[in-house]
Structure 1
């Protein structure tokens, strides 16, 4: 089985991390995985070059070069399946496939919500959002399978395009292997914390979506006692803006922007509390990773993902989106142990999102679309 993944670039985001995890697992099952990128950009590019059998950069100049170059790549590489993400890339890939000779099936992965919250500020952001929804309706009937990363997104897709309901399903993101999960379960967090300030961690791209500006404002409402510090890992276009906000609130000694990290597990392993202050999500990969490491978790009740993961707030606090006071109160509640979940329960919930389970379900989708009678990846037949 030869699988071609198509993405715009390899920035340090959840889509890219999931793609690397999935490709690694599929290669272990014997699949040949190849990656096509529109641009040679992103913090994860070097890692992608290690994971994939080959990485093809289609164009760094003009978008119009993308389609003919992708068509040529598909005809030359002759993949058995194509996996895409992002609506514009999905449409361009469908056009490229149609122009070529190969009639390879396209599986389109949807990693983010269709909710109105998923829009950029201003009139341009609104127009882009409305255009994307029209492009969604154009793309979804034309692909061969749609894989959503949460039940909430699956419901959105079926409402947007009822004709796609029969080939739309949810497969939760591959977070960690069973070996990694077992290692974490063998080392549960103790109820008693180490001495020193509470370590509050945020991790993600420094963009409007991730809501770190809200976390900084909420930190400005926290009392000095018990002592605390906030470590934010990630990079992105809003880094300078966030640093200015930290200085404006006088929190230079309390909040540190560490930049992109190649070892998120280490950051999460030392976290007492993990905060996901996003305005919207598709799933919330890093939220599950934090739970796996036994950290207490707080997330916004944004569309979609966190509510599913945290079982409607049973095993982690959910706060309204962009509500700085509610977020500050949730942080205080955790540090004062008014809301506390045993680390073993958090880790057991996180263990439901294993790479093996996710890959098995992906294998089902691939085998269902494979016209060969041989079940190449060992997945259960649907």
Structure 2
């Protein structure tokens, strides 16, 4: 089977990492795989598997890539076009309808659509446009049960058109990176390290995490590391300074290997206002790292099951988050159990096979 995977760029986000893991798995299974991007720059460019071809449409903006994507479809004639992220999904549908080859079009939605908010005009138009065009897809994949239900309701989609496939998070390559070690000096003494990972955007709500950390820090020695870059960096730096916590909080930027941080951190905190299936929680579990997470729509409650659910806190509540940070540091869950739970539900092999089965069903 010839599979084309369309993503906007190779910048370092959870959806891009998922797409790369899928492409790697499909290629290993013997399929011809292309990664098609509107813009070929980004931190993940050097992580594309050698037997997966990168096709650069070189348009920068996704909405301007429709014509070139349609031409690619007619030139290469993939059997399936699988796109990721809402604006790329809209472009993919339009490109397939414009093409002569007409491959099967599969859309992967990585967000809880009803909760999605943006400030740009493009962001504000996502939902009304998606409501019109998603119905033309051959299949839609939601990355969690909660996201699937929300997608059906928000876009008025029939339930049979939306399929739930969990992300391919736990891979051998990831675990090899996790075991490389981390020489950050903060890991060299007994002070617990709390970790936050993600883009510095309103969605991730690191403002609440920093506030919660400040409250918890009054009770005991702690350190906080944030891995990621984004539009709110200067605002978060100002918040850290205003709290007088420059010696205790490190904004370390983007890391190609967040797993080495997760392996050594005492706790990972997800403070998001909304998600769909937060990859970072699964990655942390696979690294044996304990978790505190907001019970946001959607995903955390599907990942943190059984006694892991005690790590869930209300969205935007810094007091409850601080309380839970202190509790989980005192009452951690066994790391081996966390690792086993992550691999049992979120391995790359399980996810890749589920995608391939769906592709065969719609051919």
- Please say whether Structure 1 and Structure 2 have the same fold, judged by a TM-score greater than 0.5: yes
Deviation at 1:51, TM superposition (A): 6.5
- Secondary structure of the 1:222 match is helix
**Conservation of the 8 A alpha-carbon contact between 2:66 and 2:94:** yes
Is residue 2:111 matched to residue 1:119? no
Structure 2 vs 1, CA of residues 10 and 51 (structure 1 numbering), >3 Å: closer, same or farther? farther
* Equivalent residue number for residue 350 of structure 1: 342
Contact 1:178–1:356 (CA under 8 A) maintained in structure 2 = no
State the alpha-carbon separation in 2 of the partners of residues 184 and 366 from structure 1: 32
Say which SS state the counterpart of residue 34 (structure 2) adopts: strand
Match of 2:83 in 1: 84
Distance 1:229 1:51, change over 3 A: farther
**2:14 alignment partner in structure 1:** 14
> How many matched pairs?
355
Report if the CA contact (8 A) 1:202-1:275 is conserved: yes
TM-score, normalising length from structure 1? 0.86
Call closer, same or farther: CA 1:51–1:18 in 2, change over 3 Å: farther
CA contact (8 A) 1:23 1:51 kept: no
**Aligned CA distance change for structure 1 residues 141 and 270 (closer, same or farther; 3 Å):** same
* 1:380 match: none
Please give the alpha-carbon distance, in whole angstroms, between the structure 2 residues aligned to 1:154 and 1:63: 24
Distance 1:36 1:223, change over 3 A: closer
CA RMSD of aligned residues (A): 2.5
> 1:313-352 maps to which residues of 2 (within 5 A)?
314-337=308-331, 340-351=332-343, 352=345
CA contact (8 A) 2:57 2:69 kept: no
Where structure 1 has 5 or more consecutive residues not aligned to the other structure, the ranges are 186-192, 371-382
Distance in 2 (CA, whole Å) between partners of 1:53 and 1:131 is 32
Shift of 1:36: 1.9
Q: 1:363 aligns to what? A: 356
Separation in structure 2 between the aligned mates of residue 317 and residue 355 of structure 1, nearest angstrom = 25
**Secondary structure at 1:115 match in 2:** helix
Q: Counterpart in 2 of 1:55?
A: 55
More helix per residue: 2
Q: Which range moved further: 19-28 or 4-13?
A: 4-13
| Deviation (angstroms), 1:226 | 3.0
1:233 CA drift (Å) = 1.0
CA spacing shift, 1:163–1:198, aligned 2, 3 Å: closer
- Residue 175 of structure 1 and its aligned partner are, at CA, apart by 0.8
**Which residue of 1 is the match for residue 68 of structure 2?**
69
1:5/1:34 contact within 8 Å kept = yes
Q: TM-score, normalised by structure 2?
A: 0.90
**1:374 maps to what in 2?**
none
User: What do residues 283-320 of structure 1 show as CA deviations (whole Å, max 9, x unaligned)?
Assistant: 01110111111111000011000011012764441111
Q: Distance in 2 between matches of 1:280 and 1:51?
A: 35
Q: Deviations over 1:58-110 (max 9, x none)?
A: 313x7664222111111111111001122332222222222221011100001
Question: CA–CA distance in 1 between the matches of 2:173 and 2:328?
Answer: 30
In 2, distance between residues paired with 1:303 and 1:128?
A: 22
- Where in structure 2 are there 5+ consecutive unaligned residues? 180-186
**Aligned position for 1:249:** 243
For the residue of structure 2 that corresponds to 1:5, the secondary structure is: strand
Q: Does 1:156 align with 2:154?
A: no
Answer yes or no: is the 8 Å Cα contact 1:149–1:172 preserved in 2: yes
Show the counterpart of 2:198. Answer: 204
**Further displaced range: 354-363 or 132-141:** 132-141
